[in-house]
Amino acid sequence: MQTHVYECIRIMLHFILMMVLSRYVFLIPPISKSDSDSIKPQFLFTAGALVGNGLISAFFGLIPALVTLSLTMGIYCFLTGSPGKKRWFRCLLLFPLIGLSYGLLMPLETLPVMVLHLSENAEEIYAIGLYLLLGLGLLIFIIIGRAGKKNFRPEMYYRKLEHWEQVMLYAIGILMLIFIGAVYAYYDIDEQNFRGIAMFESIMMTIIGFAVTLTVIILILVGNKNAYMHKEMLEMQHNIIVMMADIIENRDESTGGHIKRTAKYVQIISETLLENGWYQSVLNQKYINDMVIAAPLHDIGKIHVPDAILKKEGRLTEEEYAIMKSHTTEGRKLLLHAEEALGHFDYLDIAVEMAYGHHEWWNGKGYPQGVSEHNIPLCARIMAVADVFDAIVSQRCYKGSMTIDEAYEIIRSERGTHFDPVIVDAFLDSREKISEALRGFEKPLKNK
């Protein structure tokens, strides 16, 4: 009876620990990904698997229980994976999960037994007490530690493990599985001459295994925290950037939400380019995210343009136009100074290129440099389309607004002259999304 209780509690504790590791270390999402607030599917699976594994251990013994535990965790990894062929590969997470679980529990199970030379009966009594104590600790963590879980939750939902972290978890998990076999081999040694040496080696392996496992877990948890703090810092910087750009933009009261709209158009055009496989050597999701952050800064150089010119109704003189054009070079200077003060960020590099190059033309007739085609940075070419489109459909102090259809036709007509032909094609392919985004800003426009 004592052996059955020992094995049952052991299996249940390993299952609970593996579920905790899967969530907080491997960052495996809950089963109900579509509704993160609903815990029913996750709770039902966990409770059912916990009871099932315990009953199988109690009635059929350790080996069937270990097989069932492995199948349960494999099914869980499969259910939490994204649909597709790769979903089956997630089942391989089973092995590092088991390895890390044993890497944490095995030292606590075996060290006192080996050092104190406990009998089999005393070993089981000690293990039952240990499992009950650890189980109580996990239960307190699950029930009472809700505040701690709330702190972890945004970090887990935001981050995905880096490739090197996944490799490390797999490597350490597999090594822990090998380590388990090596430690258990100690119990099979009957030769007294070798038993002392084997015990010393097993103790050292147990300590090293526990230290390595704990170090890996701490590294992942610290990585989660650092990644989340970095994300929060970037969001704070982005909000400050948008606020500053909005202040500069609102010097001309007629421009409204220009920076927010153009940032959205940049995102839509860029994602269409990415979907269609264009500019793959430069364009990826991170580049798009950085462009969206940088887009509000494209006109920051207008802070150096006097109000008399910025708000002038009617055409500018040549001298006034030259001052207006200087907002590109002044914007570049401001952003380079900001980069010196804040340190290097990829979005600031893109902001510099956008501010300096969004008035360049594909045929080389733009300003300030007069460069052409692919000599203009990709981010600036995308911003050029977004900027002109919004200017066409918006009411300005020096002009009225045009219809959306007229705006699309103007962009189409300047394909290959003012704008990069590929970007214009992506813009036109995204017409429905762009029109929907434009309507979402609730700015009164003339719609055809």
What are the residue boundaries of the structural domains of the chain, listed by start? 2-229, 250-440
Which pTM was predicted? 0.57
Q: Percentage of residues in the chain with pLDDT exceeding 70?
A: 78
The per-residue b/e assignment along 377-395, b for 16 or more CB within 10 angstroms, e otherwise, is bbbbbbbbbbbbbbbbbbe
Q: Is the pLDDT of residue 443 over 90?
A: no
Q: In the structure encoding, which two tokens stand for residue 214, read together?
A: 């704990």
Q: Is the pLDDT of residue 348 over 70?
A: yes
* pLDDT, position 10: 78
The dotted CATH code for 250-440 is 1.10.3210.10
> Span 202-230, mean pLDDT?
77
Query: Which range, of 100-114, 246-260, 370-384, averages the lowest pLDDT?
Result: 246-260
CA-based torsion, 148, 153, 158, 159: positive or negative: positive
Confidence of residue 422 (pLDDT cuts 50, 70, 90): very high
> Span 67-75, mean pLDDT?
86
Q: In the structure encoding, which two tokens stand for residue 228, read together?
A: 């989340």
Residue given tokens 């040496």 in the structure block? 197
Per DSSP, the three-state class of 406 is helix
Over the stretch 381-403, which tens digit does the pLDDT of each residue have? 999 999 999 888 875 544 556 78
Over the stretch 92-134, which tens digit does the pLDDT of each residue have? 888 888 888 888 887 787 777 777 777 777 877 887 788 788 8
The secondary structure of 157-222 as a DSSP string is: HH----HHHHHHHHHHHHHHHHHHHHHHHHHT---HHHHHHHHHHHHHHHHHHHHHHHHHHHHHHH
Q: Which residue has the higher pLDDT, 169 or 182?
A: 169
